[in-house]
């Protein structure tokens, strides 16, 4: 199957789920599932949540590489719940905001708070029971963070935008970003943590908000990590 749309629909049908049932089990909106199956959405962080519910290899669902749900190699023993059918992943709970998985589930990262992000490099992975999907390739030192404010909400029509309450994945092993990459940084004079676009030119470095209503930051700062992906509700 050459497209994500065809694989997603086939996996849902094989799991004997309607789109509404898949929404209830995964936390992914039915409208988003419909867009994926129509081919209107390609790469999306919702795919891992759907892969868990469909009991499909997430790499197969995303790229077509790997076993399909109906291939015998797909089946593995379940853990921690004697009554649960065999599968690769087990969703332990689905809170209203975003899909959530057992800590340490492959291809997921901890969703942490902004105060935790400020001390991540010293404390390592903070204690958290909320782990969410991250389809992008990432190091073990990656976390997810919910966006605050509107400084990274781009004007209408721009390709990249990070509205309030969207969730970004931050790889803290990537601290030397290229011009134009989005980063989490610490402002040295205030010790404040911020999310901005990294800019550099002719030896100068500054942080640029995507929302023109906010001012660039031109004081000294330290890059704490680079944004490698975003999760956002389609509705």
Instruction: State the sign of the Cα–Cα–Cα–Cα dihedral 142, 145, 149, 150.
Output: positive
User: How far apart (Å, rounded) are the C-alpha atoms in residues 69 and 176?
Assistant: 40
SS3 of 36, please?
Answer: helix
CB 153 within 8 A of CB 163: yes
Model confidence pLDDT, tens digit, residues 128-137: 768 888 878 8
**Comma-separated ranges of CATH 1.10.260.40 domains in the chain:** 4-91
Instruction: Report residue 16 as tokens.
Output: 């004997």
180-193: per-residue pLDDT in tens? 999 999 999 999 99
Please, where in the chain does CATH 2.10.109.10 lie?
A: 110-231
The first and second tokens of residue 74, run together, are 């797909």
Give the whole-angstrom CA distance, residue 158 versus residue 209: 13
The secondary structure of residue 154, as a DSSP letter, is P
What are 198's strand-pairing partners?
Answer: 207
Indicate the helix (H) or strand (E) that contains 97: none
Over its length of 235 residues, how does the chain's per-residue pLDDT go in tens digits? Answer: 678 889 989 989 988 899 988 888 888 888 888 888 888 876 567 787 888 888 888 878 888 877 888 876 554 444 444 444 444 444 433 333 455 677 777 888 888 989 888 887 665 555 576 888 887 888 888 999 999 999 999 987 677 899 998 999 999 999 999 999 999 999 999 999 999 999 999 889 999 999 999 999 999 999 999 999 888 766 5
pTM over 0.85: no
Would you identify the CATH topology of the domain 110-231?
Umud Fragment, subunit A (2.10.109)
Neighbours of 6 (CB within 10 A): 13
Q: What is the CATH number of domain 4-91?
A: 1.10.260.40
């Amino acid at each position: 199957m050459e497209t994500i749309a065809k694989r997603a629909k086939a996996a849902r049908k094989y799991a004997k789920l309607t789109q509404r049932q898949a929404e209830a089990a995964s936390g992914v909106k039915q409208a988003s599932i419909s867009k994926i199956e129509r081919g209107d959405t390609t790469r999306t962080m919702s795919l891992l949540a759907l892969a868990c519910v469909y009991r499909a290899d997430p790499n197969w669902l995303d790229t077509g590489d790997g076993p399909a749900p109906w291939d015998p190699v797909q089946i593995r023993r379940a853990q921690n719940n004697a009554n649960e059918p065999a599968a690769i992943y087990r969703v332990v709970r689905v809170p209203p905001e975003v899909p959530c998985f057992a800590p340490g589930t492959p291809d997921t990262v901890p969703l942490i708070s902004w105060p935790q992000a400020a001390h991540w490099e010293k404390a390592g992975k903070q204690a958290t029971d909320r782990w969410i999907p991250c389809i992008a390739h990432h190091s073990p030192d990656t976390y997810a963070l919910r966006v605050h404010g509107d400084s990274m909400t781009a004007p209408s029509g721009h390709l990249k935008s990070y509205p309030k309450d969207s969730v970004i994945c931050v790889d803290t092993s990537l601290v030397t970003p290229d011009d134009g990459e989005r980063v989490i940084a610490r402002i040295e004079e205030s010790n404040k943590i911020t999310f901005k676009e990294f800019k550099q030119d002719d030896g100068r470095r500054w942080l640029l908000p995507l929302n023109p209503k906010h001012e660039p930051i031109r004081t000294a700062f330290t890059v704490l990590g680079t944004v490698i992906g975003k999760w956002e509700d389609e509705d």
